[in-house]
Structure 1
Amino acid sequence: MNIVPHHHHSCEAASSKIQRFFTEFHVSQILRSCNAYKVRGFAVMAIFLVAFEAAFQRRSFYQRKKDAPESIPFERDTFYRFLNSCAIHWRKFTLLLGTAIIQKAIAPLTSGARRNVLIIDDSLFSRNRSKKVELLARVYDHVSGTYMK
C-alpha cells in the first residue's frame, strides 16, 4: 500500500515548472552539445530531470528512491555514473545554460541604450578561527590593510 506524501501536489507543480524551464531554454540541446549521450538504457533527460529536481525539492536521490521507488525507474548506479561521467563537459553546460538564461530572460529587461555589466564582489570572508579548512589561505585585505585567513 502506497501512502501519498502531503507535499505531493507541490512536487508535481515544481516538476511541471521544471519541465517548462527545460523546454523554454532547450536544456536537451545544450546537454547534447556538451556530449551528454547514453548508449543504452534510460534517456539522458530522464536522469538529468531527477538530478535537477533534487536540488529544488531538498531531497537526495536516496531519499526520493526510498520514499517513492516507482517515480524513479532507474537505479542509483545509473544516476551516479551519469553525474560522474568524464565525457560530459559540465562546465560548458553551465556556461551555455547561463548564456541562454541571460539572453532570453535578463537581456530583454534592459534597454538598448544601457550598458550590460556584471559586478563581482570580492569581499573577503574571515576564517581566522579555522586551521584545517579546504582551500584556506592567508590573503591580504586591501580594505583593512591586514592579512586574513
Structure 2
Amino acid sequence: MNNIPQYNENEKQIMRSIMNFIKNFKVISALKKANCYKESGIPVLSIFFYLLQLVYTKKSMYMNYQNGTNHPGFAKDVVYRFLNSMYIN
C-alpha cells in the first residue's frame, strides 16, 4: 500500500499560477489602495498568498497546522487578525 503525498505536482503548479497572477495583476498595489498594509512583521502579500493557496488547493488552515505540511511561518492568529481587520476596505 502506497501513501498518497499531501503535496503533489498539481499543488506546485497551482502555487506558481497564483504567484504569477499576483505579480502580473499587481495585487500588492490593489491591497495598498484598499488600506491593507502592515507596519511590521509578516508582509501582507505572504498572508494573502497563503489564503489564496488554501482556497485553490482545497485545504484548510487547521489541517496544515495539524499535519505540519506547508507551514506558512506565522501563527494562525496573524491570519485571523488579517481577515477580521476593520481597517481593510
Range 67-76 or range 24-33, more displaced: 67-76
Q: Hey, what does 1:36 align to over in structure 2?
A: 36
Residue-pair matches, total: 87
Give SS of 1:5's match: coil
**TM-score, length basis structure 2:** 0.86
Question: What are the equivalent positions in structure 2 for 1:40-119 lying under 5 Å apart?
Answer: 40-68=40-68, 71-89=71-89
Q: Work out which structure has the larger RCO, using CA pairs closer than 8 Å and 6 or more positions apart in sequence.
A: 2
Question: For residue 45 of structure 2, what is the amino acid of its counterpart?
Answer: M
What 5-or-longer segments of structure 2 have no aligned partner?
A: none
Following superposition, the deviation at residue 69 of structure 1 comes to: 5.1
Q: What RMSD, in angstroms, separates the aligned Cα atoms of the two structures?
A: 1.9
Q: 1:4 to 1:67 in 2, by over 3 A?
A: farther
Q: Hey, what does 1:125 align to over in structure 2?
A: none
CA distance in 2, matches of 1:6, 1:73: 18
Give SS of 2:37's match: coil
CA distance in 2, matches of 1:69, 1:12: 13
CA deviation vs aligned residue, 1:30-77 (integer Å, no higher than 9, x gap): 001101111211000000001111111111111122233563100000
Larger radius of gyration: 1
The sequence identity of aligned pairs, in percent, is 28
CA distance in 2, matches of 1:6, 1:63: 11
Q: Hey, what does 1:25 align to over in structure 2?
A: 25
CA deviation vs aligned residue, 1:78-123 (integer Å, no higher than 9, x gap): 011001101001xxxxxxxxxxxxxxxxxxxxxxxxxxxxxxxxxx
**TM-score, length basis structure 1:** 0.53
Q: Hey, what does 1:124 align to over in structure 2?
A: none
- Name the structure where strand makes up a greater proportion of residues: 1
Give SS of 1:71's match: coil
Q: Hey, what does 1:11 align to over in structure 2?
A: 11
- Name the structure where helix makes up a greater proportion of residues: 2
What 5-or-longer segments of structure 1 have no aligned partner?
A: 90-149
Question: For residue 85 of structure 1, what is the amino acid of its counterpart?
Answer: S
Question: For residue 46 of structure 1, what is the amino acid of its counterpart?
Answer: S
